[in-house]
Copies of this chain bind each other. A is one copy, B any other.
C-alpha cells in the first residue's frame, strides 16, 4: 500500500514557533511517521508539499498512490487548478483520499462535496471529545470511546457537507458545540474520509488514538482494484459492457 501525505507546509516554513514546537519538520513528517509506526511493512509512505513542482503531485506520483492524505489551511487558493483536477480524477478512478482538519475548505474537498463546506471555529484550547457512533466501523477499530484531546481548536456545526454515507465520529467541545468529525463518502471508485481533529497549534498528530484512526482510515480507503477509468457515457453492445 502506497500512501502520500500532502501538506501545505506554510505555517512551518514561515517559522511559526508554536507550530514548529509540535512539528519541527512539518506536520506531514509527523503524520507520515505515525502511519509508518502503525502500519509497518504494510505501507510505503511519501510526503509532498505545496512548494514542490506541481505541488509534488505529478501524474506519476498520483498513479502510484493508493491513499492520499491532505492537510491545507492558509493557502488553498495557491493550489493550482490543474493539480486539483488531477487529484479529483484519480479519486474518481479509485485512489482513496483522507482530508484532514482545515482541509475542509480545500479546492479538492469542495469539488468532491459540491457544497460550501463552511463551518464555525474558535481557537480557544477547548477540550475535544471524539465520540464513536458506529462501533462496527473499521475506522474506529481499537480506539477508546471517546477519544480525549485536552486542547484543540473548536470546529462546530452547521458544517455544510452533503449527508455522509457513514457518520463515524461526532465531537463535543468545552464550549458546548458539536461537530460531525469523522464522515465517509464514495465518489466514483474512490473512498473519501474527512477527519477533523488536527490543528497546527496543537500536538494532535502525536496523539496515539488519532494516529490509530489515521492508520485505520488508510486501510479503509485503499482501493480494492487496479486504478481504472470509469467508462464515460456509452452505448453498450450487451449487458456485460
B233 touches A105 (CB 8 A): yes
With both chains docked as a complex, state the minimum distance between the C-beta of A108 and any C-beta of chain B, in angstroms: 10
A136 touches B236 (CB 8 A): no
Given contacts A138-B224, A177-B172, A187-B114, contact A235 B120 (CB under 8 A): yes
Query: What residue in chain B is nearest A186 (Cβ atoms)?
Result: B136
B92 touches A115 (CB 8 A): yes
With both chains docked as a complex, state the minimum distance between the C-beta of A237 and any C-beta of chain B, in angstroms: 9
Chain A, range 91-119, C-beta contacts under 8 Å to B: 92, 94, 105, 111-116, 118-119
Which chain B residues lie closer than 8 Å to A134 at the CB level?
163, 186
One digit per residue, 1 when the CB lies within 8 angstroms of any chain B CB and 0 when it does not, for chain A 156-198 equals: 1111101101010011111111101000011111110000000
Q: Roughly how many angstroms separate A232 CA and B76 CA in the complex, as a whole number?
A: 15
Counting chain A residues whose Cβ lies within 8 A of the other chain, the interface size class is: 35 or more
Which chain B residues lie closer than 8 Å to A234 at the CB level?
118, 120-121
One digit per residue, 1 when the CB lies within 8 angstroms of any chain B CB and 0 when it does not, for chain A 198-240 equals: 0000000000000000000000000110000011111110011
A121 touches B233 (CB 8 A): yes
Does residue A36 face the partner (Cβ distance < 8 Å to B)?
Answer: no
A231 touches B186 (CB 8 A): no
One digit per residue, 1 when the CB lies within 8 angstroms of any chain B CB and 0 when it does not, for chain A 114-141 equals: 1110111110000101011111101001
Which of B92, B115, B116, B172 touches A178 (beta carbons < 8 Å)?
Answer: B172
Does residue A146 face the partner (Cβ distance < 8 Å to B)?
Answer: yes
Query: What residue in chain B is nearest A232 (Cβ atoms)?
Result: B118
A contacts, CB < 8 Å to B = 92, 94, 105, 111-116, 118-122, 127, 129, 131-136, 138, 141, 144-146, 148, 156-160, 162-163, 165, 167, 170-178, 180, 185-191, 223-224, 230-236, 239-241
The 5 closest A-B pairs by CB, nearest first: A112-B114, A172-B172, A114-B114, A172-B178, A129-B176
- 6 further interface pairs, Cβ-Cβ under 8 Å (given A114-B114, A129-B178, A160-B188): A114-B187, A122-B236, A133-B157, A133-B180, A134-B186, A170-B170
